Amino acid sequence: MRKILAVETKLLLREPAGLIFAILLPIGLLLILGSLPTFRTPDPKLGGMRIIDNHFPAMMTALAVVTLAFVFVPGALALYREKGILRRMSTTPVHPGKLLAAQLVLNGATAVVAVLLMIVAGWLVHDVPIPKNVAGFAVSFVLGVASLFAIGLIIAAVVGAKAAPAVGNVLMFPLLFVSGMWMPREVMPEALRRIGDFLPVAPFGQTLRDTWAGGSPQVLNLVVMAVTLLVAGLVAVRIFRWE
């Protein structure tokens, strides 16, 4: 596993544009949009908090993870397949699950770096509080990252390099919408909230918001993410192809 991680890290660092984008995107959006009065004015619908206090940084965290999971991971693995890298690995005693796990670990580490830098930048520039329930935030983050990356690995397992980013974006934007990316879920129509409750991105974003404010993640949200991880992970390993 260590050798696989080392190889994957070298391949990632050869073309670091995607890595840099995934790290800088949430930080840039938080710093720029956080300067707008709309984001800095206390909102009664959010319990008197500013949007930037927990809703916005939580959704920027979700955006960073979803972008990595649905766009960069599928694109990278599909490109490896087309370049013959996966075919050459198939001649070694490497189980597909180990390669997929290496991608999960490597890109998960990228997500951690992006979120930590965003939290520090938000605190320094806009006085955004750090997550108050650190343990709950960490559990929610790890489970959410794993479940979303499992979906991304399904895309990577079957889609070509040219189509992978497009397929990822087609899935990403509707899921982000019902998760409350562009408007707080409190002001969304009831039907959209109900749909989002059973899709993986909305529970991820909600648990981040809850724990950021000092609360505990809701059991239903954790269950949705856990089931997504289990089902999508098994499917990804099952259908993975080397060529």
What string of pLDDT tens digits covers the 243 residues of the chain? 777 788 778 877 777 777 788 888 888 888 888 888 878 888 777 777 787 887 788 888 998 899 889 988 888 887 777 777 777 777 777 766 677 778 778 888 888 999 999 999 989 988 888 999 999 999 999 999 999 998 998 888 888 777 888 888 899 888 988 887 777 777 788 888 888 889 999 999 999 999 998 999 999 999 999 999 999 989 988 887 777
pLDDT of amino acid 48: 75
pLDDT of amino acid 135: 95
Reading the block at residue 44, the tokens are 């009664």
The pair phi, psi for residue 214, each rounded to 5°, is 105, 0
pLDDT of amino acid 104: 79
3-state DSSP assignment of residue 45: helix
142, exposed or middle or buried, with CB in 10 Å at 0-12, 13-18, 19+? middle
Residue 63 and residue 180 in contact, taking contact as beta carbons nearer than 8 Å: no
173/107 Cα distance (integer angstroms): 20
Which structural domain, as residue segments, surrounds residue 231?
Answer: 2-239
Reading the block at residue 89, the tokens are 């690995």
3-state DSSP assignment of residue 1: coil
Question: Residue 73 contacts by C-beta under 8 Å, 6 or more apart in sequence?
Answer: 103, 107, 149, 152, 153, 155, 156
| CA-based nearest residue to 52, from 43, 62, 63, 65 | 43
Query: Total structural domains in the chain?
Result: 1
pLDDT of amino acid 210: 92
Residue 164 to residues 75, 94, 107, 151, 223, Cα–Cα distance (Å) = 5, 24, 16, 12, 28
Reading the block at residue 86, the tokens are 């996966």
How large is the greatest C-alpha to C-alpha distance in the chain, in angstroms? Answer: 60
pLDDT of amino acid 96: 64
